[in-house]
Amino acid sequence: MGYKKPTAEMIEQLKAIMPGRVFTGDDMNSDYSHDEMAFYGKYQPDVAVEALSTEEVSAVCKLCYENDVPFVPRGAGSGLCAGCVPIAGGVVIGTQKMNKILGYDLENFIIRVQAGAFINDIAEDCQKHGMLYPPDPGEKFATVGGNVSTNAGGMRACKYGTTRDYVRAMTVVMPNGEIMRMGAEVSKNCSGYSLINLMCGAEGTLGIITELSMKIIPQPKVTVSLLAPFVDLDTCISCVSKLKMANLNPQALEFLTRDNVQAIEKFLGKTVYPAVCDGETAGAYLLVSFDGYSQEELDSTLEIAAEVFSENGALDVIIYDTPDGLRNAWLVRGSCLEALLADFKLMDECDVVVPISHIADLVNYADGLQEEVGLVVRTAGHAGDGNVHINVCSNDLEEEEFMKRVDLFMDLVYAKGIELGGLISGEHGIGSAKVKYLEKNLGAEQLQLMKGIKMAFDPKMLLNPGKVCYSL
């Protein structure tokens, strides 16, 4: 692609733009070379900079563009597909110091933030104002810009939707350094092509998001959860549509398999979910959460939900309505990844999304591949929206052999997901790690169309190259 490296003169120009926040050589943190799945590649950038403002990001982009040097935006680096990894070298633009909450417009249900603000900090600050920021991805210390860039979902997507549904407006630095304002702080928008929706999920390949206006809602006053154990996963998942048809609008609706729960409880050092109910061994669980603005509002919801569970194969229905009970119930679901990392030396994860009725088909198929590929498979996921997190793990293999087996597993499980009417990612994104699978999913023609969009935004193909729709 004709990429160039930053010259000594260019580095001095960067230092003039960001005094004390330009790093090279041994002064550069090695974290800039990878994300949370480091085996998808470690590529040290030539330069790393830490931006404080939109104007600084603009100046760096302009300088890189004029010098044909590739550049990559990076938030917290919590991605799983090498989306922020500088595979072509160049300059990494860190946004974590752009972490301010800029203010509220409560009359119009808006919070304004810089892109480097952590989801955890936004959620806590909203609570102080009696408001809720509905998107709730599992990694609470990811940045909001990163979440928008991957259209992150999370557990509350069942009721509230994904991150994209809360983006009202954004400030974007284009690859050539031009600053654009996309969208507006309004509820409706049919004013030309939806560029803001192109930016959501683009993984930092079309422009660099620096500021956001996000929709928020009044904070619900009451939250209650139910746990329903089932004999097997098929019975468990068949209950999901029944619960939704009852018009109960759960905030979150998650499933876990028994083998996963056992591993998590071992990691936590305590038993939370019952293994046996009335002499029957649980094979899978549904964990559902409801929120509302009064206890009375939720009482009838809980009664109907318990009836739906009992009439559709649940071995028991357990209510969690105290702070400790809620914390423990959701601690199990929230500790899936930590437990896996504690148990296994090597792990990879995919997040196939399928129609809800096919969750069990996909999970059973993935479990059945364990002997064929020689890897341990653990699954959990969002029963309410069909997004299944499938982890493949090993303690015995060298990394090279592990990756070969992961490739085989991914080929098979993605093909099955597509056969079931699904897509290869519900919220993690594509990055550079999953490009080949996306082409198999969507076809070369769609990827070529995406690449055409990329070239319209970035004619020199310098911004976060080799991601989403093409490989280097």
**Structure-block tokens of residue 226:** 């139910």
CA-to-CA distance for 350 and 388, rounded, in angstroms?
A: 8
157 vs 137: CA distance, rounded Å = 9
Residue 415: other Cβ atoms inside 10 A: 15
The single-letter code of the amino acid at 388 is V
Cα Rg, the chain, nearest whole Å = 23
Ranges under pLDDT 70 in the chain: 1
On the 0-12 / 13-18 / 19+ scale of CB atoms within 10 A, 327 is exposed
CA end-to-end span of the chain, whole Å? 8
pLDDT in tens, 121-163: 999 999 999 999 999 998 999 999 999 999 999 999 999 999 9
Q: d(Cα 401, Cα 423) in Å, to the nearest integer?
A: 27
Structural tokens at position 237: 């998942």
pLDDT tens-digit map of 407-454: 999 999 999 999 999 999 999 999 999 999 999 899 999 999 999 999
CB 352 within 8 A of CB 390: yes
Three-state helix/strand/coil letters over the chain: CCCCCCCHHHHHHHHHHCCCCEECHHHCCHHHHCCCCHHHCCCCCCEEEECCCHHHHHHHHHHHHHCCCCEEEECCCCCCCCCCCCCCCCEEEECCCCCCEEEEEHHHCEEEEECCCEHHHHHHHHHHCCEECCCECCCCCCEHHHHHHHCCCECCHHHHCCHHHHEEEEEEECCCCCEEEEECCCCCCCCCCCHHHHHCCCCCCCCEEEEEEEECEECCCEEEEEEEEECCHHHHHHHHHHHHHCCCCCCEEEEEEHHHHHHHHHHHCCCCCCCEECCEECCEEEEEEEEECCHHHHHHHHHHHHHHHHHCCCCCCEEECCHHHHHHHHHHHHCHHHHHHHHCCEEEEEECECCHHHHHHHHHHHHHCHHHHCCEEEEEEECCCCEEEEEEEECCCCHHHHHHHHHHHHHHHHHHHHHCCCECECCCCCCCCCHHHHHHHHCHHHHHHHHHHHHHHCCCCCECCCCCCCCC
Dist. CA 425–CA 470, nearest whole Å: 16
The span from the CA of 346 to the CA of 57, in Å, is 36
Percent with pLDDT over 90 in the chain = 95
Nearest to 257, CA basis, from 174, 359, 127, 399: 359
CB 179 within 8 A of CB 172: yes
Residue 349: both structure tokens together: 């994860």
The tokens of 28 are what? Answer: 């550069």
pTM confidence score: 0.95
pLDDT number for residue 1: 67
Q: What is residue 138's predicted lDDT score, i.e. its pLDDT?
A: 86
Token output for 261: 């729960």
